[in-house]
Every structure is written in structure tokens, then in C-alpha cells.
């Protein structure tokens, strides 16, 4: 291997390293934006759940009875872009263990769609996901409309979301029932013991809370999913960066060795020529 070819390889690795660093910076930006938002979204969603628990505690007639008939729609959130390690594959593997043959699968994210198709699961509907924090609101309205179009079908009763959440530097897949409200989960909450003053009838408040629960839950899934996707991507890019730096270092070591060999060969040629003279 000549020094020139080694220099070309080093230059190619350095160009790739620049791209990797740019992707690390972009992933870091999305992580910072979503990290600022996630705690507030979680608190707001929990407050909506507390309000539901209060209504059910003081107006038991509002509680939706448990029903075992009816199918389920699972809305799975993945990534639109690649280079995020095993992020989508882990979701697809998890879905393979929880999806029933009669479930409707709504996939959000092109890369997740490809991963799920590898498992031969039947996809009912698909939609592209947001690639940045600022793009979430742009896709929210369309996704909510598509989800409710499917959920409004007579044979569907359960709406469940599936997404990846990062808590204490660990990524875990979460599966949550949105509609009908999970009564067992709500019963674990401790609503206010005293009645609040209400200027609307309980049915109207309940309807508004359902709408709010649906909106904030889907929004939370987008934010959590984008955050975890970039969490995976940042670690993938950090690993790639370390490998590139090692490859450049190894190539430069070889380059020094080749140069030394060339110099040694030139010296030997000079010495050989001087003997002839």
C-alpha cells in the first residue's frame, strides 16, 4: 500500500467523521429540545388522568364498563430516518410478542414500517413521522384524524399506543391503553376527596377530558419517540466516531511505517550506488 493511497483513505475517513459529528450535533439538539418538553407533557397527562379519576370517583355512572368484545388498534411510534442502531428493530421484536392476529396496526415511521414487515405482521395503516421537534405539530392533526377514522369503526373498541421512552438513561418500550380509559390505572390514583365547583355537567367535562387525553397522549408519544430515537442515534454516532478515529490512527501508523520503509529503501539504493562509484 502506497503512502498516497493511505492518504486518500485517511481523507475519506475524515470526511465521514465530519458527517458523523454533524449528525451527533443534530441528534443532541433534538434530545435537548425534547428533554425540556417531556417532563411538562408527562405532568399535564397525569393531571388529565387525575381529573378523570375525580369524575369517576364522584360520578360513578360515567365509568365505562369493561368490555371484552371488540378489536384493538395499536399505534406504534418509530423513526422516519435510519442510523439509530436497533431502535426500530427492538420495537418490532416487542410487537411480535404482543400483537394479536385481529389487531389493527397503525405504524408511524418509515423505518419502523420496514422493521415490522420483516416480522410478517399485517400493517393496517402507515404514516410518516416527524424528523424534528418543530415538525411534531405538523403531523399531529393528520395522525389524529387517521387514528380516529380507524377507531370509529364499529368493531374496534380499544386504542393502545406503543412507543419507546428514555428514563434515567435507560430506553424501555411502553404500551399504554388510551381508549377506553384504563379504569384499573385510574383507580390507583387518589383524587381530591372534596367536590369541586363545576359549571358544566359531568358528561360534558368527561367528553372534553377524553379529547384532551387523546391529544396529549399522542403528542407525548411523538415527543418521547423522537427523544428515544435520537438517544439511540447519538450513541450509534458516538460508536461510529470512535471506530473512525481508531481507523484513522491505524492508517497513520501504517503510513509512518511505509514512509520509513521508503526512506530505508532510498538510503540502501544510495549506498549501493556509492559502492559502484
Structural domain containing residue 115: 23-235
- CA distances (Å), origin 143, targets 14, 159, 221, 245, 253: 41, 14, 12, 42, 53
Residue (of 143, 154, 144, 177) closest to 74 by Cα position: 177
Check if the beta carbon of residue 161 is closer than 8 Å to that of residue 217. Answer: yes
Q: Rounded CA gap, 128 and 139, in Å?
A: 8
Model pLDDT, residue 197: 65
Q: Rounded CA gap, 30 and 239, in Å?
A: 19
Q: Is residue 250 part of a domain?
A: no
> Phi and psi for 259 in degrees, rounded to 5?
-60, -40
Residue 223 is classified by DSSP as: H
Check if the beta carbon of residue 3 is closer than 8 Å to that of residue 259. Answer: yes
Q: pLDDT digit string (tens) for 72-114?
A: 999 999 999 999 999 999 999 999 999 999 999 999 999 999 9
Model pLDDT, residue 196: 66
Q: Is residue 2 part of a domain?
A: no
CATH assignment at residue 175: 3.40.1380.10
| Residue 162 neighbours by CB under 8 Å, 6+ apart | 74, 75, 76, 77, 91, 94, 95, 98, 173, 174, 175
Model pLDDT, residue 242: 95
Q: Is residue 4 part of a domain?
A: no
Residue 134 is classified by DSSP as: G
Residues of the chain with pLDDT under 70: 63-69, 190-198, 272-277
Checking 131-135 for CB contacts under 8 A at 24+ apart, the result is: 131/80, 131/81, 132/30, 132/226, 133/30, 133/33, 133/34, 133/37, 133/223, 133/226
The rounded Cα 4 to chain-centroid distance in angstroms is 43
Model pLDDT, residue 199: 72
Model pLDDT, residue 264: 82
pTM: 0.85
What's the structural domain count of the chain? 1
Q: Is residue 143 part of a domain?
A: yes
Check if the beta carbon of residue 234 is closer than 8 Å to that of residue 28. Answer: yes
Concatenated DSSP letters of 241-262:
HHHHHHHHHHHHHHHHHHHHHH
Q: Is residue 16 part of a domain?
A: no
Residue 62 is classified by DSSP as: G
Residue 109 is classified by DSSP as: S
Amino acid at each position: 500500500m502506497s503512502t498516497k493511497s493511505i492518504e486518500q483513505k485517511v481523507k475519506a475517513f475524515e470526511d465521514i467523521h465530519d458527517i458523523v459529528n454533524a449528525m451527533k450535533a443534530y441528534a443532541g439538539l433534538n434530545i435537548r429540545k425534547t428533554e425540556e418538553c417531556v417532563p411538562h407533557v408527562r405532568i399535564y397527562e397525569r393531571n388529565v388522568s387525575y381529573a378523570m379519576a375525580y369524575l369517576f370517583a364522584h360520578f360513578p355512572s360515567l365509568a365505562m364498563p369493561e368490555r371484552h368484545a371488540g378489536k384493538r388498534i395499536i399505534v406504534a411510534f418509530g423513526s422516519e430516518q435510519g442510523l439509530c442502531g436497533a431502535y426500530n428493530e427492538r420495537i418490532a421484536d416487542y410487537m411480535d410478542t404482543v400483537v394479536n392476529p385481529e389487531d389493527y396496526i397503525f405504524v408511524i415511521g418509515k423505518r419502523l414500517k420496514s422493521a415490522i414487515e420483516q416480522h410478517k405482521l399485517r400493517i393496517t395503516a402507515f404514516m410518516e413521522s416527524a424528523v424534528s421537534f418543530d415538525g411534531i405539530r405538523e403531523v399531529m392533526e393528520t395522525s389524529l384524524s387517521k387514528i380516529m377514522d380507524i377507531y370509529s369503526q364499529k368493531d374496534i373498541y380499544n386504542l393502545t399506543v406503543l412507543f419507546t421512552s428514555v428514563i434515567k438513561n435507560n430506553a424501555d418500550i411502553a404500551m399504554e391503553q388510551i381508549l377506553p380509559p384504563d379504569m384499573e390505572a385510574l383507580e390507583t390514583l387518589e383524587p381530591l376527596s372534596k367536590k369541586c365547583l363545576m359549571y358544566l355537567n359531568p358528561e360534558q367535562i368527561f367528553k372534553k377530558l377524553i379529547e384532551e387525553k387523546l391529544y396529549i397522549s399522542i403528542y407525548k408519544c411523538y415527543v418521547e419517540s423522537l427523544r428515544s430515537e435520537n438517544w439511540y442515534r447519538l450513541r450509534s454516532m458516538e460508536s461510529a466516531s470512535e471506530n473512525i478515529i481508531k481507523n484513522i490512527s491505524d492508517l497513520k501508523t501504517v503510513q509512518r511505517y511505509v514512509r520509513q520503509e521508503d526512506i530505508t529503501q532510498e538510503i540502501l539504493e544510495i549506498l549501493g550506488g556509492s559502492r559502484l562509484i
